[in-house]
Amino acid sequence: MHPGRGARATTVAAVLLAALTAGCAAVTPTWTPRTASSTPAPPASPSPTPSTTPTPSPLAMVAARIPYGPERREQMADYSLRRYGERSADLMPHAIVVHFTESPDDPWVTINFFAGNQPNAGTLPGVCTHFLIDKVGTIYDLVATDTRCRHAVGLNHVALGIEVVQSTEGHSSHWADDQILARQPQMDALIALIGQLQQQFSIPTDRVQGHGTADTDPEFKDLTGMRNDHTDIGPDAVAEIRRRLEATP
């Protein structure tokens, strides 16, 4: 999620700078994430009736759910009331917003930041997304898809968020977008994840947005009049992502 201007940019930059100046080659989670080994297996069920509709195989993901308890849900509900006129933390996705992290390569830098629930622009909840994809194409499952995350002004009430690990490294957002588009393992994972979410929630390809195009979505809404000032995953990158989605069987 490419930091915008103001308080949020300062907060994110401080966290990432601390990680970099610590000289850490790898960042570990600052809480105990849910892992595959700690997740109880679902009970056995009868064999399903054969269907003529193919069911996609579930994608391999790292289960790294961030803390999202009653307090954070209340904060999200209060935020939703201010921004969308409805007090709820529940989500029925109609759209998907893709971001890049503007962070070091280690995915846990961003995941730990999301888990910390730090105020953004002086208000809670902190920012988060539902999924994160690192540079080698590993998908991290961070927040349940039926729960709202604060990741894109005007769309948090209808959109899932996906972070892609990438930094501008002193270049433009367009340059960073191009690095992602050229990174095959990461893009393969992104297209596969978006495709599965589209099928699961009947999300059309024209509702796949970048943070840099979020304001153009037909369901964009913000009662405070705020608009996005982010440029990560801009129009050109969104067009290419949509093209690849349409070309995928």
Q: What does the domain layout of the chain look like in residue ranges?
A: 7-27+58-247
pLDDT of res. 29: 78
Residue pair 64/142 in contact by the 8 Å Cβ criterion: yes
- Which tops the pLDDT comparison, 106 or 49? 106
Taking 80 as the threshold, does the pLDDT of residue 27 lie above it?
Answer: no
Taking 70 as the threshold, does the pLDDT of residue 37 lie above it?
Answer: no
Average pLDDT over residues 105-127: 98
* Pairing between β-strand 131-133 and β-strand 139-141 as defined by DSSP bridges: antiparallel
pLDDT of res. 245: 99
Average pLDDT over residues 5-27: 40
CATH superfamily of domain region 7-27+58-247: Peptidoglycan recognition protein-like (3.40.80.10)
- Which tops the pLDDT comparison, 75 or 45? 75
pLDDT of res. 33: 72
pLDDT of res. 199: 98
Question: Residue 100 and residue 29: Cα distance in Å, rounded?
Answer: 20
Residue 237: pLDDT band (50, 70, 90) is: very high
Whether this model's pTM surpasses 0.95 = no
Taking 50 as the threshold, does the pLDDT of residue 150 lie above it?
Answer: yes
pLDDT of res. 216: 98
Average pLDDT over residues 202-223: 98
Q: Percent of the chain at pLDDT above 90?
A: 76
Helix (H) or strand (E) holding 62: strand 62-63
Q: Percent of the chain at pLDDT above 70?
A: 79
Taking 90 as the threshold, does the pLDDT of residue 153 lie above it?
Answer: yes
Cβ-proximal residues to 47 (8 Å cutoff; 6+ apart), any chain: none
pLDDT of res. 31: 67
Average pLDDT over residues 39-66: 58
pLDDT of res. 34: 52
- How far apart, in Å, are the Cα atoms of 86 and each of 8, 10, 214? 24, 29, 20
Mapped onto helix, strand or coil, the DSSP state of residue 68 is coil
